[in-house]
Amino acid sequence: MKIVSLLPAASEIIYDMGLSNYLYAVSHECDYPDFIKGKKKVTSSVIPNSLNQSSIDKLVKKSVENDVPLYQIDNDEILKINPDLIITQGLCEICSISENIIEATLKNNLCTLSSKTKIISLNGTTFEEICSDIMMIGIAVNKEEIAKKMIAEAIYKKIKVTRKKTNKSILLLEWIDPYFTPGHWIPEQIEMAGFISIAGNKGEKSIEIEAKDIADLNPDFIGLICCGYNLEENKSFAENIYLDERINHIEAIKKERIFAFDSNSYFSRPSLRILDGVMQLSSAILDKNPKFHCKKSDFINNRKLSSC
């Protein structure tokens, strides 16, 4: 079987099922586990790497408004591979099917495929739905029993990582310029870690909020999980929080209860690694793990060093 994965979470699942040798190509976003970095990339992004968050937000909004794809698909390379299975996210529609070809819209890109190519779309927005997506892949690749085992182990792990509920609230920010609330499975991660998700509901989309809204919410803790960024990058964004005069008077910021996480690995993707994200949340705050703590002095010291 030849598999093309256009979704990082799907690539992880294929690997966990022991089918890495059948993975012929992946998206430009697929980077875990390490072996995937060497796989052929059949997508690319129109968003330059050099843009800051504000510029990315404006570009995305303009692209959505004008119905312009944010991703490009290498149709020629996919045709050359002639895959048996393509796994994508948000398959818009299959426009027409003939005896020889399928014309499918993958992330707003028209892709002409062999009629034998099967396409499945993953759209999980909660832990339960992520498990359902794993089963869907398992059925598609004839590894249903392995999928069932993965799900059973994940459910057991979920029980183990779930902490006793506290009365403390946390606001996890998926973006900071502008500010965005947590969405999809992330409020569920917060609840598993023992906290109250002060903004965002399980399964719902992340939404933009104003600085005034954050001040009004007045969370006990703030966590930075800007979508697609790693731990160190999210740590660097903490300086913006400390310098934002619209919100830096609230207790969470005054008392330096700011934390950062590797969102790209443990929060942004609908994979079972979200359970590791749960453990990191509780470790950072309940167990006081300094690895995730963002102190104001960190930025003051860095500024002093850079000026020497």
DSSP state of 125: -
- How many Å apart are CA 20 and CA 219, to the nearest integer? 43
Peptide bond into 33 cis (omega under 30): yes
Predicted confidence band of residue 300 (pLDDT cuts 50, 70, 90): low
**Residue 105 has what pLDDT?**
59
Q: What are phi and psi of 46, to 5 degrees?
A: -85, -5
Give tens-digit pLDDT for 44-102.
Answer: 888 888 899 999 999 888 887 887 777 788 888 988 999 999 998 763 333 333 334 44
- How many Å apart are CA 159 and CA 304, to the nearest integer? 46
Higher pLDDT, 113 or 79: 79
Pairing of strands 85-89, 3-5: parallel
- How many Å apart are CA 245 and CA 262, to the nearest integer? 26
In this prediction, residues 205-228 reach a mean pLDDT of: 96
Other CB atoms within 10 Å distance of the CB of residue 229? 22
Dihedral Cα 125, 90, 4, 147, nearest 10 deg: 30
**Residue 123 has what pLDDT?**
87
Map residue 207 onto helix, strand or coil. Answer: coil
> Where would I find the H helices in the chain?
8-16, 53-65, 75-81, 127-140, 144-161, 186-192, 211-217, 231-243, 251-254, 263-266, 274-285, 296-307
Which CATH code is given to the segment(s) 3-154?
3.40.50.1980
Give tens-digit pLDDT for 22-43.
Answer: 999 999 999 999 988 889 999 8
- How many Å apart are CA 281 and CA 151, to the nearest integer? 22
For 191, half-sphere exposure in the C-beta direction (CA atoms, 13 angstrom radius) is 15
Please enumerate in sequence order all residues whose Cβ is within 8 A of that of 132, keeping only pairs 6 or more positions apart, or say none.
124
Q: How far from the centroid of its chain's Cα atoms is residue 305's Cα?
A: 34
Residue 198 has pLDDT above 90, yes or no: yes
Say if CB 85 and CB 3 are below 8 A apart: yes
In this prediction, residues 111-127 reach a mean pLDDT of: 84
Predicted confidence band of residue 157 (pLDDT cuts 50, 70, 90): very high
**Predicted TM-score of the model (pTM):** 0.88
Domain pair 3-154 / 163-307, same fold: yes
Domain 163-307 class in CATH: alpha beta
Pairing of strands 118-122, 208-209: unpaired
Tell me the domain boundaries of the chain.
3-154, 163-307
Start-to-end CA span in the chain (Å)? 59
Please enumerate in sequence order all residues whose Cβ is within 8 A of that of 91, keeping only pairs 6 or more positions apart, or say none.
104, 105, 106, 119, 120, 121
Say which amino acid occupies 82. N
Strand partners, 3: 23, 85
Predicted confidence band of residue 243 (pLDDT cuts 50, 70, 90): very high
In this prediction, residues 103-118 reach a mean pLDDT of: 68
**Residue 69 has what pLDDT?**
75
Residue 110 has pLDDT above 70, yes or no: no
Whole-number average pLDDT of the chain: 88
In this prediction, residues 173-182 reach a mean pLDDT of: 96
Say if CB 252 and CB 219 are below 8 A apart: yes
